[in-house]
């Protein structure tokens, strides 16, 4: 088996909470040596973002589950770069690095000589990725960035939730997660540029930009029509029926994407004539008459048991599914078959839960050699490597 694709790449992570660490974790999965720099006085804030907390076999608190969700595969060095000695050590460490990921406020690292302009002369190949709420430019650049606020400001919450009800954020910090993913894409592209030219560069990532970008078709719905999309609950702006519907023992998802699937749905549930009704025969007609369609479907599905209906819909090639909670998701045979849950040995007699990255690569698979590090766990190891390198 070949080495992982980013083997030999060293990343210095000056980041905490989610977006920056999410990027660092993915780079570690792909084989990079990711060194997480943490303040000795507590480390990453998410170590304390619990309960729940991960416990060792002897009851030791190994940090919050939140921390472990985004720091797998890294090494941790405890270093206070607010001190001259700490800053000097960090600059030496950066001299061996290919990438820096940082999520400090605008200009927050300049006073330590750790901003891109200060570092690029000593290391012209350095790829320096800054992650902030609003980016390095614009009237909001100095504002702190919080996923919840970004979802509100960047349009996400205006299209999430039921009509007439309180706007809703997504159930996970999607602005942070997607910014982390986009950061990894940009970092890999910048590393390719380094290979070709020897030149590093500064990457400016903003949660605000990422959240707007991922609105996808909703952006174009507005830009083409001039009408901003609104909350429509679980329904789809452009397709019907594509929503949650009640049945006798709960709810199911129907995701009917074309007229043939709609005809098959009608046949399964005993509404054959509906597929030939001009008000529902085509997707544009169904979208126009979605309220009447929903009412009809609710009445027809009221007597159906969820499992029975889903089996018949699957046999008829009608896209539909249950709505699993997360426990049900991890118990699902597809989840088990794909090996999405992992338990990683921390070298201290503990098996720590994790979730693998969603890439399966036949030649250069991701590596999962260590769980999230304890605070400063690798300080001595990293400093010893640095001393040896400088001799």
> Is position 176 annotated as part of the catalytic site?
yes
The length of the chain, given as a count of residues: 391
Q: Please check whether residue 207 is in contact with residue 179, taking contact to mean a CB–CB distance below 8 angstroms.
A: yes
Cα dihedral value 56, 329, 50, 344, nearest 10: 30
Q: Please check whether residue 199 is in contact with residue 125, taking contact to mean a CB–CB distance below 8 angstroms.
A: yes
Order of strands, sheet of 75-78, starting from the edge strand that comes earlier in the sequence: 75-78, 33-38, 10-14, 99-102, 127-132, 201-206
According to DSSP, the residues that pair with 191 across neighbouring strands are: none
> Which residues, 6 or more positions from 126, have their beta carbon under 8 angstroms from its beta carbon?
94, 97, 98, 99, 100, 116, 119, 120, 200
CA distance 28 to 347: 18
CA distance 52 to 5: 34
According to DSSP, the residues that pair with 78 across neighbouring strands are: 38
Pairing of strands 33-38, 10-14: parallel
CA-based R_g, the chain, Å: 25
> Which residues, 6 or more positions from 22, have their beta carbon under 8 angstroms from its beta carbon?
70, 176, 177, 179, 180, 181
CA distance 386 to 169: 44
CA distance 196 to 190: 10
Catalytic residue among 29, 44, 98, 176: 176
- Active site residue ranges: 176
């Amino acid at each position: 088996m070949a080495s992982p694709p980013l083997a030999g790449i060293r990343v210095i992570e000056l980041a905490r909470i989610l977006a920056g660490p999410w990027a660092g974790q993915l780079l570690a999965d792909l084989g990079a040596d990711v060194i997480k720099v943490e303040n000795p006085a507590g480390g990453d804030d998410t170590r304390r973002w619990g309960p729940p907390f991960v416990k060792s076999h002897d009851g030791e608190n190994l940090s919050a589950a939140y921390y472990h969700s985004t720091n797998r595969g890294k090494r941790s060095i405890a270093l206070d770069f607010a001190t001259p000695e700490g800053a000097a050590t960090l600059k030496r460490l950066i001299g061996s690095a290919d990438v820096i990921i940082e999520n400090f406020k605008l200009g927050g690292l300049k006073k330590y000589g750790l901003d891109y302009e200060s570092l690029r002369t000593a290391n012209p190949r350095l790829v320096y990725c800054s992650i902030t709420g609003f980016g390095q430019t614009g009237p909001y650049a100095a504002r702190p960035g919080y996923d919840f606020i970004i979802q509100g400001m960047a349009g996400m919450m205006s299209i999430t939730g039921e009509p007439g009800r309180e706007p809703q954020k997504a159930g996970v910090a999607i602005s942070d997660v997607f910014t982390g993913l986009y950061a990894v894409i940009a970092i890999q592209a910048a590393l390719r540029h380094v290979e070709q030219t020897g030149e590093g560069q500064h990457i400016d990532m903003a949660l605000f930009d990422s959240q707007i970008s991922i609105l996808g078709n909703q952006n174009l719905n507005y830009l083409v029509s001039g009408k901003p999309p609104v909350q429509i609950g679980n329904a789809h702006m452009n397709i019907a029926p594509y929503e949650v519907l009640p049945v006798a023992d709960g709810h199911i998802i129907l995701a009917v994407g074309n007229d043939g699937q709609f005809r098959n749905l009608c046949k399964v549930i005993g509404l054959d004539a509906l597929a030939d009704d001009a008000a529902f025969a085509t997707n544009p007609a169904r979208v126009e008459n979605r309220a009447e369609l929903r009412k009809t479907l609710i009445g027809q599905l009221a007597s159906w048991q969820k499992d029975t209906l889903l089996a018949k819909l699957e046999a008829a090639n009608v896209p539909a599914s249950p709505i699993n909670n997360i426990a049900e998701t991890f118990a699902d045979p597809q989840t088990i078959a794909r090996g999405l849950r992992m338990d990683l040995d921390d070298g201290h007699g503990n098996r720590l839960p994790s979730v693998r990255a969603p890439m399966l690569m036949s030649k250069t698979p991701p590596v999962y050699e260590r769980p999230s590090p304890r605070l400063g766990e690798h300080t001595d190891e990293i400093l010893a490597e640095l001393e040896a390198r400088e001799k």
